[in-house]
Structure 1
Amino acid sequence: MTAEPGTALPRWIWLPAALGAAVVALPLAALVGKVEWAQFWTLISSDSSQAALLLSLRTAAISTLLCLVLGIPMALILARRPFPGSGLVRAVVLLPLVLPPVVGGLALLHTFGRRGLLGDSLEVLGMDIAFSTAAVVLAQTFVALPFLVISLEGALRIAGQRYESVAASLGASPSRVLWRVTLPLALPSLLSGTVLAFARALGEFGATITFAGSLEGVTRTLPLEIYLQREVDPDAAIALSLVLVVVAAAVMTLTHRRTRVLR
């Protein structure tokens, strides 16, 4: 496809772009080169590895659903209905993007742990969240939620409110405008944010091990399994790392194609 008039780029820009691509691609190529292909299936088919992969996929899917349920309303309010202190709220919501995940895990532990801010109250209700599968979901949601919020909020700000105003002037209720106008207009960015949230949840490590621990079949997700295997069986760790890369790449590629179609 030829470039459209006015979209030509200076030739020098290809060099830093190629270097940037190499920074990402070369380590992945090195990882592929270290895989013991003759034993690949054996390395990834152990009971602990399969349990970790299934747990990662299940918890990441639940976390992504929570990100949608919580993140869409947050993005809508931040983009459409600014309020006093909304800048501070936005900063707090996006803080996990720059916080070390271990810090997030400690924050969650001191909130939902047995001696945490809400721990005693939850324990009275018979809910013990820390070091459970629910803790994995919370940790993944904590680190993944900002990706969906920032993607959707930016798209809503760019789209403006022209079409929503027209729909409202024709008698559409706010809920109808939301479902029939606002979200369809932002659908490509919503899909991109959802994929980013899922990928971030799938690869979460620091907050999970701090808040949920590493109990096989309960809280030991694939990143934790890779970390443990690195000490006892490096070949298995490399093979499992490749599985995680392939799963994440497949999800992002599939959604990118659908996003391009929608655009």
Structure 2
Amino acid sequence: MGWLGPEEWRAVALSLRVSFWATLVALPLGLFTAYALARWRFPGKQLLNGLVHLPLILPPVVTGYLLLAVLGTRAPLGAFLQDLGITFAFRWTGAALAAGIMGFPLMVRAMRLSIEAVDTRLEEAAATLGASRGVVFATVTLPLILPGVLTGAILAFAKAMGEFGATITFVSNIPGQTQTLPSAIYAFLQVPGGEAAALRLVLVAVAVAMSALLLSEWLSQRVARRIAGT
């Protein structure tokens, strides 16, 4: 506990909270989107694929600005949600939303590649035995793509931990409320003598990112071995 100061611990704890909820909420939608892109044919499929990957192409600040324009307290939708007691702008929930959107493309891509690698003949064999689509997915498809699902979730979590541009634009940089780990690093670098605290948080960020990359790589190898039957 003595290695990081109270303000630094708050930033790390908030980042973990934001990243956890961003990943958890995005996971079902990510799996559904990945399955649709991998297996279904429908009008606008390429448009959907483009929209999913748009956060990877746009500057993060643009994504944050669009969120603020749509969900800000003065925006029609944001004001409507606020009347219902749901507020995203300048709240940690908004940070989770922004982080989830930025990590969504990585999640979907990992899941989609895993789904596309599954031999459809296995699913067809289960279907010929009378299993419904839901049962086939739960008993055949999901176990085969589970490492890919976990890989996507880990990559999205790591991306959420490192998200800065969209988050600071949408929810600002309020200590103890919306100041995540990257925002705290930025804040410490703006004050004299804050370099040491910033460096400690940088080391934390690097450790989390490297751990996520190593874990995702290990899971990817598991996917390859499982599909190859070795």
Normalised to the residue count of structure 1, the TM-score between the two structures is: 0.79
Question: Which of the residues 203, 213, 226 maps onto 2:172?
Answer: 213
Does residue 14 of structure 2 align to residue 55 of structure 1? yes
Aligned to 1:253: 214
Aligned partners of 1:129 and 1:135 also within 8 Å = yes
Quick check: 1:113–1:119 contact (8 Å CA) kept in 2?
yes
Of 15, 36, 58 in structure 2, the residue corresponding to residue 99 of structure 1 is 58
Shifted more, 48-57 versus 161-170: the winner is 161-170
SS at match of 1:159: coil
Instruction: Report what 2:108 is aligned to.
Output: 149
Unaligned runs of 5+ in 1: 1-40
Question: What does 1:108-147 correspond to in 2, within 5 Å?
Answer: 108-147=67-106
Aligned to 1:23: none
The yes-or-no answer on 1:191 pairing with 2:150 is yes
| Alignment size in residue pairs | 222
Shift of 1:158: 3.0
Q: Distance in 2 between matches of 1:139 and 1:261?
A: 30
**Secondary structure of residue in 2 paired with 1:256:** helix
Closer/same/farther in 2, CA of residues 258 and 128 from structure 1, 3 Å limit: closer
Shift of residue 259, structure 1, vs aligned partner: 4.5
Aligned with 2:195 (options 217, 230, 234): 234
**Post-superposition shift, 1:45?**
1.8
Compute the displacement of 1:67 (Å).
2.1
What RMSD, in angstroms, separates the aligned Cα atoms of the two structures? 1.7
Match of residue 8 from structure 1: none
Identity of aligned residues (%): 42
**1:96 Cα shift?**
0.6
Q: In the alignment, what sits opposite 1:3?
A: none
Contact 2:147/2:222, CA 8 A, preserved across alignment: no
Query: Which amino acid in 1 is paired with 2:96?
Result: V
For residues 134 and 175 of structure 2, what CA distance do their matches in structure 1 show? 44
**Is the 8 Å Cα contact of residues 75 and 150 (structure 1) preserved in structure 2?**
yes
Tell me which of 25, 33, 54 is aligned to 1:74. 33
In structure 1, what is the Cα distance between the partners aligned to 2:82 and 2:197?
39
Given that 1:110 and 1:117 are in contact with CA atoms closer than 8 Å, whether structure 2 keeps it comes out as: no
Give the unaligned 5+ runs of structure 2. Answer: 226-230
Q: Is 2:117 aligned against 1:158?
A: yes
What's the secondary structure of 2:10's corresponding residue?
helix
TM-score normalised by the chain length of structure 2:
0.90
Change (3 A) 1:97 1:117: farther
